[in-house]
Chain A
Amino acid sequence: MSPSTPSALDLATSVRSGERTAIDIVEESLAAIEALNPKLRAFLKVDGNGARQRAEELDAARQAGETLGPLAGVPIALKDNLCTRGLETTCGSRILEGYRPPYDATVVERLRGAGAVIVGKTNLDEFAMGSSTENSAFGPTSNPWDASRVPGGSSGGSAAAVAAGLVPVALGSDTGGSIRQPASLCGVVGLKPSYGRISRFGLVAFGSSLDQIGPLTSTVAEAAALFSVLAGPDPRDGTCDERPAPDSLAALEKRDVSRLRIGVPRAAFGAGVEASVTAACRASLDALSARGARLIDLDLDWSDLAIPTYYLVATSEASSNLARYDGVRYGSRAAGHEDLIGMITASRGAGFGPEVKRRILLGTYALSAGYYDAYYRKATQARALMGRQFAAAFEQVDVIATPTSPTPAFPIGEKSEDPLQMYLCDVFSVPANLVGLPGLSVPCGASADGLPIGLQLMARRFDETTLLQAGACLEDARPEPLGLPPIHRLAKGGAR
């Protein structure tokens, strides 16, 4: 949350009206990146020339009397697992270092069509596998609120870039919480839409039954605006639903907190959640209740099922999806091998980092003969069971609220040697992916030492409208926003 950063919606309005030029806005963003990125390491690649050229085209189009799109002149950062034609896309991996895709992802085409200006590609855990951005082969990103702490992950670069005001908005991807958790840890809004809402064409695949693309923004209104630009059918992604994108921004005006029924799973506010997180989330729910929302306690408890189910499904799918990195068609190839299998095995061994290897091994094991029934098949049954439990809960409530993450941002290095502890961070975020629901993280408070805390809301599949309305109600009800992250104050002199 950076109140000094103008909203993407205000920027677009000012560019469309001619009050400001796109090039002026883009130069501001590039200057802020130049000043702060050396400390944050949120961006892996900055496309200054491409961004300036696009901004000048937009300004020229306006001069010529053309009507510009809803995101006219808005600088945007993309997680580096979204394909951009001719612009390096690495997934934070050595195996894709230098890879320049021959095509744009559908979301990239839609953003360009709406007038957004892509300024660069952001850091992530390698192939989006992680909850801290420490698994990037190119080094970790820092949290703008405390540079010694992680920004969360895997979309940590995008979350940090928005929190520090380098760009007003960014895109991430979310397979098990990778938009919502870094949003929570950096104090910004993160939306994971329903499975099937947004085309994944051009998103480098991790877990295909789980992956979704979504926005990271300062406000719920900006998330709604981006969602409406990104959503909708795409013949190039067979899992993408046919229904058209709703006008979620307009729907926000119709929000009515007194009609909201919020389900509160008791188990999500109990053991294993840091006291500051429980307190901030409870306080924001009480504030919603004071404004007329109904809070309904739920017995829904996925604490034993969610992590094993998710990590078996996600790693199984990843072990298959990542088979394509074989040193043949793209990526790096190990030298000195005279047989094909030897070359493939060595290229993968040298090109993938430790967490990616760990997950490929786990997924391969879960799918292997003799273990398939006990692991992968059992996980798919538990997944169906969770679907039933959520469907029953949504008969009584409109949204379900939990903390987004059990803790605020943790120190860099604290969990990186203990993969299981890192996995357990995802307990509240993975159900939305397993069940296909939309999920939203909204800043709701801070810990005693000033680290942001987010509340997660989930809604029925394809009911992003109610989800975003509930998020906007939370923004109305919560205490004062967090103010500027320290990194912004530190380098402010340099940025201007």
Chain B
Amino acid sequence: MDIDRIAELSRLALTEAERARYAKDLDSILGHFERLQAADTSDVPPAVSAVALAPRERDDIPRESPPVDVLLEGAPARQDDLYEVPRVIAAE
């Protein structure tokens, strides 16, 4: 397994020790999971849920939402009514 690639896709900063440990753990876990391949599922369509949920419609009724200040209370950084984040697009 390419643990560096999976860590990057997962957006997880990991130390070298963590990388080694998780690579080993995942190898052991996936080794056990190999038994799944023995199940004959050739005629079984995949089920992403236990139940087939039909799309449900509801009336679009406006309702009160919490005030902006309350919603922003948990933000690690804010500027006025906005979330503040580091630069999104790298400077040339």
Contact = CB atoms under 8 A, between A and B. Distances in A.
Interface of A: 99-100, 102-103, 195-196, 209-210, 235, 238-239, 304-305, 307-309, 311-312, 319, 323, 326-334, 337-346, 348-350, 352, 354, 357-358, 360-362, 364-365, 368, 374-375, 377-385, 387-388, 419-420, 423, 433-436, 461
Given A238-B56, A329-B83, A338-B86, A308 B33 contact: yes
A379 B39 CA distance: 10
A276 B12 CA distance: 42
Contacts of A99: 74
Contacts of A326: 11
> Which of B9, B25, B29, B66 lies at the interface centre, i.e. has the most chain A CB atoms within 10 A of its CB?
B29
Given A339-B90, A360-B12, A368 B6 contact: yes
A361 B86 contact: no
Given A304-B35, A311-B29, A379-B36, A209 B14 contact: no
Contacts of A343: 85-86
A375 B49 contact: no
Contact of B33 (A311, A346, A433, A436): A311
A339 B86 contact: yes
B20 to A, nearest CB: 13
Given A196-B51, A326-B11, A420-B28, 18 more contacts: A99-B74, A238-B53, A304-B38, A305-B36, A311-B29, A327-B76, A331-B74, A341-B11, A344-B11, A345-B12, A349-B13, A358-B25, A361-B10, A364-B6, A365-B26, A365-B30, A384-B41, A420-B29
Given A379-B36, A419-B29, A350 B13 contact: yes
Interface string B32-65: 1101111101001111111101001010000000
Nearest to B19: A361
B18 interface: yes
A304 B39 contact: yes
Given A364-B9, A364-B10, A384 B46 contact: yes
Interface centre among B10, B22, B28, B86 (most CB of A within 10 A): B10
A97 to B, nearest CB: 11
Contacts of B37: 374, 378
A348 B12 CA distance: 6
16 contacts: A102-B71, A209-B48, A210-B50, A304-B36, A330-B76, A338-B86, A344-B11, A361-B10, A361-B22, A378-B37, A381-B39, A381-B41, A381-B44, A388-B44, A436-B50, A436-B51
Contacts of A337: 86
Contact of A340 (B36, B75, B85): B85
Contacts of B44: 381-382, 384-385, 388
A259 B88 CA distance: 65
Nearest to B9: A364
A338 B29 contact: no
A212 to B, nearest CB: 10
